[in-house]
Amino acid sequence: MTNRPILVFDVNETLLDLDHLCPFFHERFGDVAVMRDWFAQLILYSQTITLAGLRSDFASLAGAVLHMIGTIRGVTITETDVARLREALGTMPAHPDAADALAYLQDQGFRMVTLTNSPPSAGPSALERSGLARFFEHAFSVQRSGCFKPAPQTYILVADALAVAPRDLCLVACHVWDTIGLQAMGGRGALVTHGMNAALPASGIPQPDLIAPDLSALARQIAVAWPG
């Protein structure tokens, strides 16, 4: 096992601010809290599709879940609404401390890549638009694996491309289901809570190696935990 892992960053909500979508959900549903419901259902059904042995892509599924939430809440969702949501997803800004945290880790000599459920973009990705893409040596999408995170195939895709074992990776995410996925394969996990998430204190479930409230604090914990 290498002493210093390669850092594998989740993108949506971990690096990019999901609250950018709130105005759209407030306009369509009159309640910004619907955004969190939509995102939770999106993750749930992406994992369901993988477990059921089916295939989809995250962008199409995002629109389908929006239609589902609309049906549940009695709100008619049009294809224009779906297009607006996709546009908002593609323009999510970085969290305010993301660039400084990544620059710090880069200066400390860490290798960094991203792994996202989102499919490859025909134009500039949200990560590129945010200005964060420059910190990463590669941007991986799970789409090539045919599965969504936290399926083992998604992490193996990254490990194989980097010619390392999963145990040589550290998943950096604000979703504990994501860190659990890699840690179950012997890798490491670093959780940034962004004031809204937490570890899952259940028996037999791997706990994140590091936990911090924001990316700046987590970057410094990472540097201390795995010095060069």
pLDDT at 139: 97
- Coil, strand, or helix at residue 140? strand
Helical ranges in 52-90 per DSSP H? 58-73, 79-90
Residue 203, classified by CB atoms within 10 Å of its CB into exposed (0-12), middle (13-18) or buried (19+), is exposed
CA nearest neighbour of 224 among 148, 110, 146, 76:
110
pLDDT at 1: 39
- Coil, strand, or helix at residue 108? coil
Q: What is the pTM of this model?
A: 0.96
Q: Are 104 and 220 spatial neighbours (Cβ–Cβ below 8 Å)?
A: yes
User: What kind of fold does domain 6-16+93-225 have according to CATH?
Assistant: Rossmann fold (3.40.50)
**Statement: 18-90 belongs to CATH 1.20.120.1200:** no
* Same CATH fold assignment for domains 6-16+93-225 and 18-90: no
Mean pLDDT (10-residue bins), the chain, 228 residues: 86 97 98 97 98 96 98 97 96 98 98 97 91 98 97 98 98 98 98 96 97 98 95
- Alpha-carbon distance of 121 to 4, in angstroms, equals 31
pLDDT at 228: 82
Domain positions in the chain are 6-16+93-225, 18-90
Any idea what the Cα angle at residue 211 is, between residues 205 and 213, rounded to 5°? 135
Residue 143, classified by CB atoms within 10 Å of its CB into exposed (0-12), middle (13-18) or buried (19+), is buried
